[in-house]
Structure formats: C-alpha cells, structure tokens
Amino acid sequence: MIKARHLILAHFWSAFIVFFGAILFGEWQMLVRSPLHAWVNIPEHYYRSVTGHGTALAYVFPTLIAMGFGYAIVELALKQALIGLRWAWGAFGLVVAGALLAVATVASGAASVLYTFYPPLIGSPFYYIGVVLVVVGSWIWVALMAVNLRAWRKANVGQPIPLAMYAAVAGAYLWAWTAVGAALEILLQILPVALGFRDTIDAGLARVLFSWTLHAIVYFWLMPTYIAFYVIVPRAIGGRLYSDVMARLSFVLFLVFSMPIGVHHLFMDPEVGSGFKYVHSVFTGMVAIPTLLTVFTICASVEIAARLRGGHGLLGWLRALPWKNPVMLALAFSFTMLGFGGAGGLINMSYQLDSTIHNTQWITGHFHLIFAGAIVIMYFVIAYDLWPHLTGRALGNSALIRLQLWLWFIGTLIMTLPWHVAGLLGMPRRMAYFDYSNPAIAPQAWTVTAAVVGGSLMVASGALFLWVLLRAQRGPRVELPPYRFSVPIHAVVSVPKALNGFAVWVTLMIALTVANYGVPIFHLLSQKTNVPAVFSY
Amino acid sequence: MSADKSHKIGFIATLVVVGVGAFAFTMGFYVLPSAGPSDTIWQRMCRGAGFVLTLPGGPRQVAPPTFTSVVVPHDVFGIGTAEQIGHGATLALRCTVCHGAHGLSGADAPNLAGQYPEVIYKQLLDYQRGARTDPVMNAMAASLTNDNVLDLTHYYASLQREKTDLPLADAPALVRVGDPIRNIAPCASCHGTADRKKGAPSLSGEPKAYLNAQLSAFASGSRKNDANADMRSVARGLSDADRSAVANYYAGISQ
C-alpha cells in the first residue's frame, strides 16, 4: 500500500469537501437568478457566494488535487518514499489554513471582490493573505516535486524519468511560473492598498498581471486530467499507450505555450496595445497543438485496447471497447466536453469573434464546460483509480460509479450549452438577477432554468461521488497487485535528452513570457495610471 | 536515442517558437498597425504596442477635467483624535446656520451628524476645487486648510446620526433590488442596509428636498463630482416618481 496514503487522502478528502460545498453555492446562485425564484433581496449575498465559489474551486480544489496526485506519483512512479513528508504536511496545513481564512473573510462579507480580484475594488487584506497562503503551500509542493525528482535522478543516472513523474513535474513548474503574475499583483499592488499603505492602484497593470496567471492556471487545472489520460486510461481499459515521446512533447509544449497567451482575456482592454493582442492570439492558437497531440495519442491508445479485445474494422473497433468500465466512460465524456469547449475556445481567442461574446454568459459556459466538465470528471477517475490503493479496500459496484459519471456529464451539458446560447443573445455575466418579465429578455429565461436543472444533476452526482468514496473507506479489505501506470507499446529504453529534462522548455517559457508581457508591463508601469481604490467593505 | 537527435528536438522546438514569434510580431507590429505607406517602422511599432503617438500638428489640446480629483487617504477612514474633533467643533460654528447646531439641519441642507468621514472629506475638497458647485459652499470651503478639512470631517463624523436603521423590507424596489433592465443598481448596495461601499454617503434621515435636488442635479449633469459617473448613470434612468419614492424612503417618510 502507498506509504504516504494519509497525506494523499487528506489532500483528496479536503479537496472534495471543498468541491462539494462550493458546487452547492453554485447551484444556489443559478437558482436565485433564474425565473424559478424571486429576486435575491440582498444582491451582495449573490456576489459573496460567487466569490466563495470561485475562490474555492479555482484556487483550493484543483491545487489540492494536483498536490495529492503529485505525491502519489512520486511514490508510485519513482518507487521511492516521498522525501520531505513533514514539509508536505506543512504545505497541506498552509493550503487548508489559507483556504479557511479566505473563505471565512468572504463569508463575513468583507471581500466580495470575485476570485479574479478586480482592482480598483479592494476587499479585506485577510482574503488576499488567505489566497497567498494557499499559493505558498502549493509552491512548497513544487519544490518537493523537484527535490524528489532530483533524488531519483541521482540514483538512476541516465535513466528516462517515468512519464507520470515527468508530466507531474512539468505541471508543477508550470504552476510555479504561472502563479507569479497574480502573486506580483497581490503582493505589490493589492495588499499595500488593503493594508492602508497606499490609496491608489493601477488597475490596468493589475489586469495585465492577472492575465499572466488567469489563462495558464487553466492548464494547471488541466494537468492532472492530462496525466490521467496518458498514464491511467490506457492501462485501465486494457490497452497500451501509443507513444511515450508524444506524451512528453505534449506536456512540455503546455509548459511553453500556456503562458504567453493571457492577453486574449484583455482583448477589450484599451490599455493593452493591439499588436500584443495579436501576438497573444497567435500563441493561443499554438496551445491547441498539445491538446490535439493528446487527443490523437489517446484515441490511438484506445484503439489499441479495442483491437486487443478483438475489435476490427475501420470504426467497428469502437464496439469492442469496455464501455462498462467507468474509466472508458469518463474518457469519452471528457473528450466530448473538451471538444465542445475547445470549439468555443477558438471563438474566444479570435479578436473579432470574441467581441460578440466578451463578458457574456458564454464565457461562464465555456469555462464550466472545460473545467467542471472535461477536467473535473477526470479528477473523479483519479480518485476512483487510486482509492483502493489508498484505503486498501474495494471500491464497490461500478454501476453506481457509471451513474455518477453519467449524471455529471449530462448535468454539465444541460448547464453549460444553454449558457452559450444566453451569451450569444447578449446576457451579461455576473448579474444577481434579471427581469425576465421584460419582453426584451424573456426569450433568455429558459437558459437559466436549464442551468438550474443541469446544476441539480451535478449536485446529485457530486453527492453520489462522495458517498461512493465514503462507502469505500468502510468496504471489504482487498489484497491488490502493486499499482502500475500505463505501459507504452514500445518499452521506453531511452528518450531524447531534451524530453528527459526541462531546461529547454523552462527557458522557452520564461523567454516567451518576457517577450509577450515585458513591454505591456513596463509600459503601464511608466504610465502611472493609478486610480483611487474602491473598498468593498 | 542518440545525443545528436536529442539535441535536435530542443533545437527544432526553439526554431518553431522563434518562427511563430517572428511571424506574430511582424504581423502585430508591422503589417496590421499600418496607417498607410508613409508610416515609418517606428510609428507602426509604437501603434502596435499601444504607445500614444504625437499627432501631426502637436499634441491634442484637452480641456482640463471638471470631475473630482480627490483621493481619500487611508487615515481619513478612522476615528479622529479628540484634538481634531475639538478644533472641528469650533470651526463648525460657522456651518450651524444651515447644517444645525449638532449637524442636524432644520433648513433642508444635508444632515452631517454621523456621516462617514470620507464622505465629508471628499465633498469639502470637491467644493474647494470646484468639482461640486454651490455658491455658499464654494465660498465656505475656499479658505479651509487641509487640517481644517480633516478637523471638520472628524467632528461631524463623531456626532450621533439621527436615524440609523431603515427596514430594508419596507424599502421601495429600487432601493432593494434596483431595476436591472434599466441598468439601475439597488441603492442599498452602496448606501447601506444591504451593503455599503466606502465613499458612498449614508442617506438615512437626510431631508427629502435635499435628496430630490441631488438626484435631479445628477440626472441633468449639473452635479458631476461622482467618481466614475456612478450616480449620474443611475439618476438619469429615474422618473420623477422614482426619485420621490427613493427620497421619501431615505427621509423616513412612510409611503
């Protein structure tokens, strides 16, 4: 059994409890802004809830999953005990303490600033300090991943790093650099104002710094999902990974391309030059490449599994796939949602098309489809896959798990696809209520009702998920064979040096960030366009 | 795989990134920002980067802004010292004709007792700098030093407010929930009861005539010292009946 199981279980349980609490708030938000409910009498409560929902699900939940999964990979892929177990517990404590501090501050009404901060809006310093603690905790995890890899490399000179570990460390490095933008914004801009040392803030600069984090953070959320695609799915469905090198290439390309693209969130921002908007748009196109590589490699791996099970024909092999296997089901759901979400993403990255859906409900639909849909459904798979090895007990019946995944998939589609329609009709996001009795927006009312229905299916699915995990903790004890990750078709004897380290890719990542962000940041710094802070409490 | 080949992957990747970058930067900073063949490379690059270029005929003449220029320093938000409040009480003797002996007006001027300090501070400076106009107040504020302004601010903030709690449940819809289709935010979101935004004044117990006059002034644009034109945007959408309903509620007059 996994030695660091208590640590990993602590991460997963905290993550999923935070997750379930936050989706309850999400469902409440959709209900009160739908025609099914009277207008919320105090709109402030709505924004408080939105801030809590976003903070918990964007900063706390995926970070805990990435950390827990990362520690599991260290032990399972490197086959060595986790170095720095105490530090890992310390980091976990920081994340939990930070999360509690931030959420309590939001609950008290002192920081309804939304998780994207939005200066010149300023909330209580405790909120930002809470977020900083979460990030500091996660940076300790980044360091531990690097330390553990280094120790392994010392003991295994010249050996190819196991794919799972290579990918997990790529994710860790991506996060370390991604978080710098928001960290600079909080530490140098927001906190001095929130603590009363300064009275004005450069909102334009803050937006640019946040965009540095805002897009790449999505790829940090995506990393555990992609790792699961490559190292869990092929093994779980009885196949082989099509290409180990292609997998490595995908992960390092995320490292390079997910950073210098955040300005596509600022297409409508007058303080950023159009040239940089164009450059970021081009690089946003480039980030589709590792996703396409992944879709290709995983589809090929799935085909291998089908043919090993006797599937044949051009597409006839699809029937031979183990559709009753929850992992297979989740993969199909995840790819479907990734497809819809990716198509929407192409619209978001195109300047002219983006202008029609900017700041509308379309955007909310897009990122829920990608994050809640394609990403989180694979977090479920990671938990299901590791659970017996963490608890030493059987997981229970797979029909219940399949039901849980179906509910999540259908719920996500019913919730997010109508939101896209609402956005095209011009419904702005971040509104506590709408007057659907007005004929001008009456045709949009059904989209919000649909979201409530879809959301309720997701809440049911979330509850079922927790129940399956909880029941498994008390299930019958099982003797399991040692855990293993997917094996590629061709045994990995050696890999290209560049794909067995990170030097080239981290250098490119930093260089591109400097090239694409350097001038906008220094331009805004030299402009001194500070505005008075607006205190929200 | 041999070392040569591995060297190649890093090299090719770097080449691709540099190639894509070169294409993107050429398009974004040379081809697309072109305003005609007479453009120099420098002009195109500056335009692409969002730098402000000097137009032909020299820099554009811009009229000086008439809106508020006040930044409320953080220390104004706190409670004043006894000395400040004492000085303020003396200075306030000249305000009593309109604003009342204890900051409660009998003359439809605003009640200042218990008003938030940052509000009094900002309005006095706006009067002093001309961003808000009133023949009496402009003259009164003209001679105040910054310390005088702070003393008055803390004096009035220290007094007991006339009314504190207006039940939100009894409030007109505009106060509680606004009117989203007319883009009118709820008054209570900034002015208290539901939520308060620093800088927004407390309105409870203010004279109806004063509230009505200010809403009209915001709507017509004759008052424009609201930061970001927040109040002008809201007031423009209000009908006479709306203004009256809102003013009645805050003045404590039952409907």
A495 touches chain B (CB under 8 A): yes
Structure tokens at A438: 């007005």
State the pLDDT at residue B6: 55
Query: Predicted confidence band at A397 (pLDDT cuts at 50, 70, 90)?
Result: confident
- The reply to whether B110 and B28 lie within a common domain is no
CA distance A177 to A213: 8
Across A379-383, average pLDDT: 98
Distance between CA atoms of residues B167 and A459, nearest Å: 35
**B121 falls within a domain:** yes
Quick check: B6 and A273 CB within 8 A? no
Q: What is the pLDDT of residues B198-214, one digit of tens each?
A: 889 999 889 999 999 99
Judging contacts by C-beta atoms under 8 Å, the chain B residues touching residue A196 are: 74-75
Q: Tell me the nearest-neighbour CA distance from B199 into chain A, angstroms.
A: 8
* A534 interaction partners in chain B (CB closer than 8 Å): 197-199
Q: Is A498 on the interface with B (CB under 8 A)?
A: yes
- Both B44 and B127 in a single domain? no
pLDDT recorded at residue B65: 57
- At A157, the pLDDT band (50, 70, 90 cuts) reads very high
Mean pLDDT of B56-64: 61
How many CB pairs below 8 Å do chains A and B form together? 139
Is residue B99 in some structural domain? yes
Residue B89 lies in a domain: yes
- Comparing alpha-carbon positions, the chain B residue that sits nearest to A200 is B71
ipTM rounded to 2 decimals: 0.86
CB within 8 Å: A532 and B198 = no
- The SS3 of residue B81 is coil
Q: Is A518 on the interface with B (CB under 8 A)?
A: no
Return phi, psi of residue A228, to 5°.
-65, -40
Q: Which A residues, 109 through 138, put their C-beta within 8 Å of a C-beta on chain B?
A: 109, 112
In a shared domain, residues B129 and B84? yes
Stretch 440-459 of chain A: residues touching chain B, C-beta under 8 Å: 440-441
Query: How many other β-carbons are positioned within 10 Å of the β-carbon of residue A452?
Result: 21
Stretch (H or E) spanning A531? strand A531-532
User: Are the Cβ atoms of A276 and B28 closer than 8 angstroms?
Assistant: yes
| Cα-to-chain-centroid distance, residue B62 | 22
Residues B246 and B189 in one domain: yes
Please tell me the total count of domains within chain B.
3
pLDDT band at B96 (very low <50, low <70, confident <90, very high): very high
Inform me whether the pLDDT recorded for A528 exceeds 90.
no
Q: Is the Cβ–Cβ distance between A249 and A290 less than 8 Å?
A: yes
For residues B47 and B88, state if they share a domain.
no
pLDDT at A419: 97
Best B7, B8, B9 residue to mutate vs chain A (most A CBs within 10 Å): B9
Q: Give the confidence band of A209 by pLDDT, cuts at 50, 70, 90.
A: very high
Kindly report the average pLDDT of chain B as a whole number. 88
**Is B58 a domain residue?**
no
A34, A37, A44: best mutation site toward chain B, by most B Cβ within 10 Å? A44
Mean pLDDT score, A356-380: 97
Instruction: Look up tokens 């540099």; give the residue.
Output: B18
Residues A512 and B21 sit within 8 Å (Cβ to Cβ): yes
Q: Residue A512: which of B5, B17, B72 has the nearest Cβ?
A: B17
Q: By C-alpha distance, which of A463, A363, A448, A449 is closest to A408? A: A463
Q: Could you list the active site residues of A?
A: 215, 219, 366-368, 429-430
Contacts with A495 from chain B: Cβ below 8 Å? 1, 6
The beta-carbon neighbor of B6 closest among A434, A496, A515 is: A496
Confidence tier at A194 by pLDDT (50, 70, 90): very high
For residue A4, pLDDT beyond 80: yes
Q: How confident is the model at residue A535 (pLDDT cuts 50, 70, 90)?
A: confident
With respect to residue B5, please indicate whether it lies within any of the assigned structural domains: no
Chain B residues in contact with A275 (beta carbon < 8 A)? 25, 28-29, 32-33, 45, 47-50
A276 CA: distance to closest CA in chain B (Å): 6
With bands split at pLDDT 50, 70 and 90, how would you rate the model's confidence at B37?
confident
Q: What percent of chain B has pLDDT over 90?
A: 58
B181: confidence class by pLDDT, cuts 50, 70, 90: confident
CA-nearest residue of chain A to B70?
A532
CATH code of the domain covering residue B120: 1.10.760.10
Reported as a pLDDT band with limits 50, 70 and 90, residue B63 is low
Please answer yes or no on whether A496 and B9 come within 8 Å at the CB atom.
yes
Residue A235 has pLDDT above 90, yes or no: yes
Instruction: Provide the shortest C-alpha distance from residue A282 to chain B (in Å).
Output: 6
Interface touch B49/A109, C-beta < 8 Å: no
Residues 185-214 of A with CB under 8 A from B: 196-200
| B61 found inside a domain | no
- State the residue for tokens 């971040």: A430
The partner residue sitting opposite B24, judged by closest CB among A256, A282, A495, is: A282
**Which of B96, B131, B130, B94 shows the shortest CA–CA distance to B112?**
B96
Top pLDDT among B162 and B179 is at: B179
Whether residue B186 sits in one domain with residue B104: no
B25 and A279: CB-CB below 8 Å? yes
DSSP A497: G
Distance CA B140, CA A8 (A): 68
Looking at the fold, whether B243 and B167 belong to one and the same domain comes out as: yes
Has residue B36 got a pLDDT over 90? Answer: no
Q: Do A497 and B6 touch (CB under 8 A)?
A: yes
Neighbours of A1 (CB within 10 A): 11
Residues B208, B222, single domain; the answer is yes
Average pLDDT over residues A400-417: 98
User: Which pLDDT belongs to residue B1?
Assistant: 46
Dist. CA B184–CA A161, nearest whole Å:
59
Interface contact flag, B32 A520, Cβ < 8 Å:
no
| Shared-domain flag, residues B85 and B145 | yes
Last residue of a domain, one of B162, B180, B213: B162
Supply A262's token pair. 């955040």
The reply to whether B2 falls in a domain is no
Q: If you ran DSSP here, which 8-state letter would residue B159 be given?
A: S
Chain A residue with the nearest C-alpha to that of B68: A532
Q: Within 10 A of A44 (CB to CB), how many other CB atoms are there? A: 20
pLDDT above 70: residue A284 = yes
Given A200, A497, A512, which is nearest B71 (Cβ)? A200
Q: Nearest Cβ partner of A196 from B48, B74, B188? A: B74
| Closest chain A residue to the Cα of B78, Cα to Cα | A196
Please write the tens of the pLDDT for every residue from A417-465.
Answer: 999 999 999 999 988 888 898 898 899 999 999 999 999 999 999 999 9
Q: Say if A435 is an interface residue toward chain B (CB within 8 Å).
A: yes
Q: What percent of chain A has pLDDT over 70?
A: 100
Query: Which A-chain residues 261-320 have CB contacts (< 8 A) with chain B?
Result: 271-279, 282-283, 286
Between chains, do A275 and B32 touch, taking CB under 8 Å as contact? yes
| Partner-chain contact B194 A275, CB within 8 Å | no
Asked if B32's CB is within 8 angstroms of A278's CB, the reply is yes
Average pLDDT over residues B184-208: 86
Higher pLDDT, B57 or B198: B198
B255 has a pLDDT exceeding 70: no
CB-based contacts of A465, cutoff 8 Å, min separation 6: A16, A380, A383, A404, A408
Residue B57 has pLDDT above 80, yes or no: no
Compute chain B's Rg from CA coordinates.
28
Contact present, B188 and B171 (Cβ < 8 Å): yes
Write out pLDDT tens, residues A79-108.
Answer: 999 999 999 999 999 999 999 999 999 999
The reply to whether B32 and B118 lie within a common domain is no
Domain boundary among B104, B135, B162: B162
Round to whole Å and give the CA distance between A250 and A255: 9
Whether A169 contacts chain B with CB within 8 A = no
**Spatial distance between the Cα atoms of A49 and A93, rounded to a whole number of angstroms:** 24
> In which band, very low, low, confident or very high, does the pLDDT at B2 lie, cut at 50, 70 and 90?
very low
User: What is the pLDDT confidence band of residue B53, given thresholds at 50, 70 and 90?
Assistant: low
pLDDT of residue A225 exceeding 50, the answer is yes
Last residue of a domain, one of B143, B162, B181: B162
Cβ–Cβ of B198/A434 closer than 8 Å? no
Taking CA–CA distances from A121, the nearest residue in chain B reads B197
**Same domain (yes/no): B77, B132:** yes
Using the predicted structure, report yes or no on whether residue A72 has a pLDDT greater than 80.
Answer: yes
Structural domain boundaries, residue B203: 163-255
How much is the average pLDDT of A6-23?
A: 98
Q: How high does pLDDT run on average in chain A?
A: 95
d(CA A29, CA A157): 54
In a domain, B60, yes or no: no
Residue A504 vs residues A89, A188, B9: alpha-carbon distances, Å = 32, 30, 10
- One-letter amino acid at A386 equals L
Same domain, B28 and B77: no
Contacts with A276 from chain B: Cβ below 8 Å:
28, 48-50
Query: Which residues in chain A touch residue B188, judged by CB atoms under 8 angstroms apart?
Result: 42
A132 confidence band (pLDDT: 50, 70, 90): very high
Residue of A532, A202, A198, A196 whose CA lies nearest to B70: A532
Tens-digit pLDDT profile for residues A159-168 = 999 999 999 9
Q: Which two tokens stand for residue A147?
A: 């330390």
Of B29, B32, B177, the CB nearest to A39: B177
